[in-house]
Chains A and B, each alone.
Chain A
Amino acid sequence: MNLLVNGKLRDVPAPMTVHRLLEWLELPTRGIAVEVNEQIVPRPRHVEHELSEGDRLEIMSLVGGG
């Protein structure tokens, strides 16, 4: 299915949860935040949150800043 991840269209296998998507993208769960359709999906819900076709994801991390 198609997902928009950090502004880029990605074709990912279905079904897919947030947790499995992070694994698929080779990202850790610590030190990042996941937003789906402008709503934060908290870390404890990553394993159960199922993603749908057309979902818009933002996966964020910390960078240097003032």
Chain B
Amino acid sequence: MSGNGAAAASDSLRLGNHVLSSRLIVGTGKYDSFESMRQSLALSGTDCITVAVRRERLYDERGQNILDAIDLARYILLPNTAGCYNAADAVRVARMGREILLSLENPGADWVKLEVLGDAKTLLPDPIELLVATEQLVSEGFQVLCYTSDDPVIARRLKKAGATAVMPAGSPIGSGQGVLNPNNIRIILEYLKDGDPDYPVIVDAGVGTASDVAIAMELGVDGVLLNTGIAHARDPLGMARAMKAACEAGRLAHLAGRIPKRLYATASSPEEGVIATRPYFNPGEKR
């Protein structure tokens, strides 16, 4: 999987043993059809997609198998533990995800997007169960990517427990509110990358539109994980393209180093050689 266009081929995202050329990770849920999913994933430019693990449903109501719409050679699959409310269930589901991917010979068999929920309405994570599950899965050799809240204290604990990546939510899953608390994301970046600048921090959940992705990338996160923002857009294919561009734009802007925000103006054109006169002067200005 080679790099593309504007984002330099060397600006790849290293997540544990895996190297991704796109900094977008995209979910496979909630699409109107597998075909819409297939095209959206392709247009997003992602090379890593999340999947869920459920009681056998190889063929859906239309008799189709999701795996027929997923090119296993093109994408690394990242199984999630969505729907789990305690560590024991999440650990079981993670093991199931690994077993399934081993049978498919997809390189994603060693990693898991760990979700341990604390509440069905907000889908906020349960930080205590999440930590317990992280420790257990790390000890079983998993590369654990933790979906967590934007609490820097929990984020630090998860890293210390051996998480391969910490993935704070921008806002609740599927809520489309974008990054509600950029300050906490900034603090998480500062704490987790202290002395370890390549430690991956990925905004996961709540992305609603392209600018949310750009904002996250400009803050300095290493990647963005999203699903509903594309799948439920009026035009998922169009939004997939937008998300791809926004991710690249935000990353380039972050690397380029933005100007500071100032209270007052600084003119873009020179002051000398002006022929005009000025009727008004500000306090303290030379006339």
Contacts and interface: CB of A to CB of B under 8 A. Distances in A.
A58 B55 contact: yes
A42 B27 CA distance: 27
Interface in A11-46: 27-35, 38, 40, 42-43
B103 A43 contact: yes
A43 B77 CA distance: 19
Interface in B36-73: 37, 50-58, 65-67
A29 B227 CA distance: 29
Contacts of A60: 53-56, 96, 100
A28 B58 contact: yes
A64 to B, nearest CB: 4
A7 to B, nearest CB: 7
B79 interface: yes
A65 B103 contact: no
A7 B51 CA distance: 22
B99 A66 contact: no
Contacts of B143: none
Q: SS class of chain B's interface: helix, strand, loop or mixed?
A: mixed
A40 B96 contact: yes
A41 B144 CA distance: 22
Chain A: number of interface residues, binned into ranges? 20 to 34
Contact of A62 (B77, B95, B227): B77
B185 interface: no
Contacts of B102: 42-43
A25 B99 CA distance: 19
Interface string B216-246: 0000000001111000000000000000000
A52 interface: no
A62 B100 contact: yes
A27 B28 contact: no
B27 A64 contact: yes
B80 interface: yes
B80 A27 contact: no
Given A40-B95, A40-B96, A40-B99, A33 B53 contact: yes
Nearest to B72: A31
Contacts of A7: 55
A59 B82 CA distance: 17
* Most interface-central of B27, B56, B174 (chain A CB within 10 A): B56
15 contacts: A29-B103, A30-B103, A32-B103, A43-B99, A43-B103, A60-B54, A61-B55, A62-B53, A62-B77, A62-B97, A63-B66, A65-B27, A65-B80, A66-B27, A66-B29
Interface of A: 6-7, 27-35, 38, 40, 42-43, 58-66
